[in-house]
Amino acid sequence: MRRRARGRGQQWWGGGVHWLLLLLSVELQCLGLQAMAWRPRRGCWQGGSPACQNLMNMTGWRTYRRPDDKSGGHGVGWSPIIPYSFKVPDGWDEVPVSIADLGGTEIDLRFANPKEGRLFVIVAPVRRFADDLDDATIEKIGSPEKVIGAFGPEVIGENVEGKVLSSATEEHSGRTYYQFELEPPHVFITATAAGNRLYLFSVTANGLQWKRHYKDLKQIAESFRVV
């Protein structure tokens, strides 16, 4: 009887260890996926690897990075546009840019989701606003108040006086970003500078979209980086 009891105990212990190791393995995999979800996923886009697509489906967000070889510029003597990146929820897609758009030829990119809102990126020559700034920073161009006062109309098409609800200054990888919320119209603007260009990243929506998707729209605006 004693031997049989020990045998059953050993069998139970072996089975318990097996299940414990299995549960530990699953937990570690979950923790690994959570950690991956918080890392920027450069190259995770439509047509990406199956693993990348699975991660995209799990988190519901994608990272867009401007291709290094994408055309664009402002004539002879201008350096290539330094790439930028941002994150959008699944369902946002690139839409054609028209020279008739507000911002004209300086709009480098447009994205939209018919149910949530739209965004665009303006990349403008710094020399339009300041001289001798071939290695520009947003601080050299001006204070947050000066920048939104001068360039806000480029985004919304009218004077921004009395429309700025909030402003903030953030630093990422040594680069400063000015962030603004305006109303009306409902819009987030992120501004920075690099090389000899000023970058204006605008995220906007109608009243109902703004109310329903405010958190996501704000997260999109705050994700903009010049890389």
Q: Among 14-28, 94-108, 178-192, 201-215, which is the least confidently predicted range?
A: 14-28
Instruction: Tell whether the model's pLDDT for residue 187 goes beyond 90.
Output: yes
Mean pLDDT of the chain: 79
* 59 pLDDT tier (thresholds 50, 70, 90): confident
Strands (E), the chain: 61-65, 84-89, 93-94, 107-113, 117-125, 164-172, 175-182, 187-194, 197-204, 225-226
pLDDT of residue 41: 38
Please give the order of strands across the beta sheet that includes 84-89.
61-65, 84-89, 225-226
68 neighbors 43 (Cβ within 8 angstroms)? no
The DSSP H or E segment spanning 145 is helix 144-156
Q: Among 40-44, 68-72, 176-180, which is the least confidently predicted range?
A: 40-44
Whole-model pTM: value is 0.73
Question: Of 152, 188, 187, whose CA–CA distance to 170 is shortest?
Answer: 188
Angle between helical axes of 50-59 and 2-37 (0-180°, round to 10): 90
109 neighbors 66 (Cβ within 8 angstroms)? yes
pLDDT of residue 134: 73
pLDDT of residue 129: 67
Instruction: Tell whether the model's pLDDT for residue 137 goes beyond 80.
Output: yes
pLDDT of residue 69: 84
